[in-house]
Amino acid sequence: MTHVFDEAIAVRRGDDGVFRATTHPAYSNMVGPFGGITAATVVHALTRHPEVLGAPLALTLNYAAPIADGDWELHAEPVRTNRTNQHWVFRIEQNGTTVSTGTAVFGIHRATWGDTEVSPPVVPPADEVAAVDFPEFIAWARNYDKRFVVGGLTGEKSDDSTSTLWIRDHPERPLDYPALTSITDNFYPRVFLRHGTYMPAGTVSLTTYFHATPEDLAAHGTAHLLAVARAARFAGGHYDQDGRVWSMPDDGEPVLLASTHQLVYFKDPQG
C-alpha cells in the first residue's frame, strides 16, 4: 500500500522537462497546501531529475502566492555543476502564473573531518510524552505524530517562542530527504505560541540545510525525530524562526540531520 505522503509528493516529468504535481487533500492547510509538502515535492522531483548530482544540501523556497487545489508545474534548471556541487533555480507555476520561486544545492558527500558544535536539549523519551492532536481544519497535521515536550499550543500566552517536540510521519514511514524536508516546516508559527492563539500568519520564505547523509537517513529508520524551533524578533508584520531536527538513536550519539530558517508574515491581532 502506498503511503499517503508518497501520494502527495508524486510527480510526472513530461517530454518538455517540466515536472507536474497535484495537491493532495490530506496535506491541505488553512490557505492552500501545507508548505512543507510543497517543499518536499520539489526535493522529490529534483532527486528524480536525470541531471541531478548527489543528494540535497540546501533548499530555499519562496512562497509568492498560495497554491490552489489542483495541478501545478515545477520548472527546474541546473545552472552550474561543479565536481561536488550543483546549483539549481526553479519556479512553480499554476495556470500560467508563478506562485513560488527558489533555489537548491545538491552535492556529493565526501569523507572529511567533522564535528557538531550544537547539542540537542535533554528530554524524556518519545514514548513518555503524550501525542497532541491539532484542530480538524489543519488537515496536514493529522499525518504526523507530534509529542510536545515544551511549547505546545495550550491557549496560554508565552514569553518564550521555543517549541521542543518529538515527531514522525503517521503512519510510520522510513525517513528520506523529502520527508525530512516536510518535517523542517512542521513548526507551527511562533507567533501562535507568543499570543496563545491562532492568528493570520504564513511562511514567506523557507530555507532548509541538509546535514544528513543517505547513510544517516537509512540508520534513522522510522523512529521519532527530535525537533526544536524558536523565533528571534517579531517586528513590522514579519519575524524569523529557526529550527533543528535531530536523530536520537538509543545506542549512539545524537545526529543533527537538518537546520531550517524561515521568514514568516503575521497580522497584528491588535492592528
Average pLDDT value for the chain:
95
204 vs 199: CA distance, rounded Å: 16
Q: Is 93 exposed, middle or buried (CB count within 10 Å of its CB: 0-12, 13-18, 19+)?
A: middle
How sure is the predictor about 163, in pLDDT bands with cuts at 50, 70 and 90? very high
List, in order of start, the domains of the chain with CATH numbers: 4-266 (2.40.160.210)
Residue range 73-91: mean pLDDT, rounded: 97
- For residue 27, the 8-state DSSP code is G
pLDDT digits (tens, 9 = 90+) for 209-248: 999 999 999 999 999 999 999 999 999 999 999 999 999 9
Is 5:173 a contact under the CB 8 Å cutoff? yes
On the question of pLDDT at 271 being above 70, the answer is no
CA dist list (Å): 89 to 46, 78, 101, 180, 259: 11, 7, 8, 21, 21
Residue 136: pLDDT band with limits 50, 70, 90: confident
Mean pLDDT of 187-216: 95
Which of 76, 3, 4, 77 has its CA nearest to residue 34?
4
Residue 134: predicted pLDDT:
85
- At 261, the pLDDT band (50, 70, 90 cuts) reads very high
pLDDT, tens digit, for every residue of 20-65? 999 999 999 988 899 999 999 999 999 999 999 999 999 999 999 9
- Whether 135 shows a pLDDT value over 90: the answer reads no
Going by pLDDT thresholds of 50, 70 and 90, the confidence category of residue 270 is low
% of the chain exceeding 90 in pLDDT: 91
Phi, psi torsion values for 259, nearest 5 degrees = -120, 150
Category of 221 on φ-ψ map: left (φ > 0), alpha (ψ -120 to 50) or beta? left
Say what the pLDDT of residue 115 is.
96
Q: Which residue has the cell 499570543?
A: 195
